[in-house]
Chain A
Amino acid sequence: MFQIHCPHCGATREEEEFSYAGEAYIARPANPEEASDAEWGDYLFMRKNTRGWFWEQWQHTAGCRKVIAVKRHTGSYEIAGSWTLAEGKEHYLKESEA
Chain B
Amino acid sequence: MANRYSFWSLFKHGLKHHESWQPAWRSPQPRSRYDVIIIGGGGHGLATAYYLAKNHGVKNVAVLEKGYLGGGNTARNTTIVRSNYLWDESAHLYEHALKLWEGLSQDLNFNVMFSQRGVMNLGHTLQDMRDIERRVNANVLNGIDGVILSPKEIQDIVPLMDISNSTRYPVMGASYQPRGGVARHDAVAWGFARGASEQGVDLIEQCEVTGMIIENGRIKGVHTTQGDIFADRVGCVAAGSTSTLAKMAGVRLPLESHPLQAFVSESMKPCLDTVVMSNAVHGYVSQSDKGELVIGAGIDSYLGYGQRGSPHVIEHTAAAIIELFPSFSRVRLNRQWGGIVDVAPDACPIIGKSPIKGLYFNCGWGTGGFKATPGSGHVFAHTIANDAPHPLNAAFALDRFNTGHLIDEHGAAGVAH
State A20–B302 Cα separation when bound (angstroms). Answer: 6
Q: Which of B367-398 contact A (CB under 8 A)?
A: none
- How many residues of chain A get a CB closer than 8 Å to chain B's CBs? 28
Report the nearest A residue to B402, measured CB to CB. A41
Q: How far is the CA of A23 from the CA of B312 in the complex (A)?
A: 23
Interface check B103, CB cutoff 8 A: no
The answer, among B253, B301, B310, for a CB contact under 8 Å with A46, is B253
**A1-39 near B? 1/0 per residue, CB < 8 Å:** 110000000000001100110110000000000000110
Work out how many contacts link A and B, with CB atoms closer than 8 A.
67
Interface size class of B (residues with CB under 8 A): 20 to 34
- B306 partner, pick from A50, A54, A76, beta carbons under 8 A: A76
Q: Does A94 contact B (CB under 8 A)?
A: no
CB of B305 within 8 A of chain A?
yes
| Nearest neighbor of B310 in chain A, beta-carbon distance | A1
With CB as the reference atom, state the residue of chain A lying closest to B399: A41
Q: Which of B255, B257, B401 contacts A44 (CB 8 A)?
A: B401
**A49 touches which of B243, B312, B402 (Cβ 8 Å):** B243
Q: Which residues of A contact B170 (CB under 8 A)?
A: none
Main secondary structure of the interface of A (DSSP, over half): mixed
Residues in B with CB closer than 8 Å to A37 are 402-404
B345 CB-CB contact with A under 8 Å: yes
Q: Which residues of the partner chain A approach B301 to less than 8 Å between Cβ atoms?
A: 19-20
Among A37, A38, A47, A56, max chain B CB count under 10 A is at A47
- What 1/0 mask marks residues of chain B from 247 to 269 whose CB sits below 8 Å from any chain A CB? 00000111111000000000000
Chain B positions within 8 Å of A, measured between CB atoms, are 241, 243-244, 252-257, 301-306, 310-312, 342, 345, 401-404
Given contacts A1-B312, A20-B302, A56-B302, 15 further A-B contacts (CB under 8 A): A1-B310, A19-B301, A23-B303, A37-B403, A38-B402, A44-B345, A46-B401, A47-B253, A47-B254, A47-B256, A51-B241, A74-B257, A74-B304, A74-B305, A77-B306
Q: What are 9 of the A-B contact pairs (CB < 8 Å)? A: A1-B311, A1-B312, A20-B302, A41-B402, A42-B252, A44-B345, A44-B401, A56-B303, A75-B306
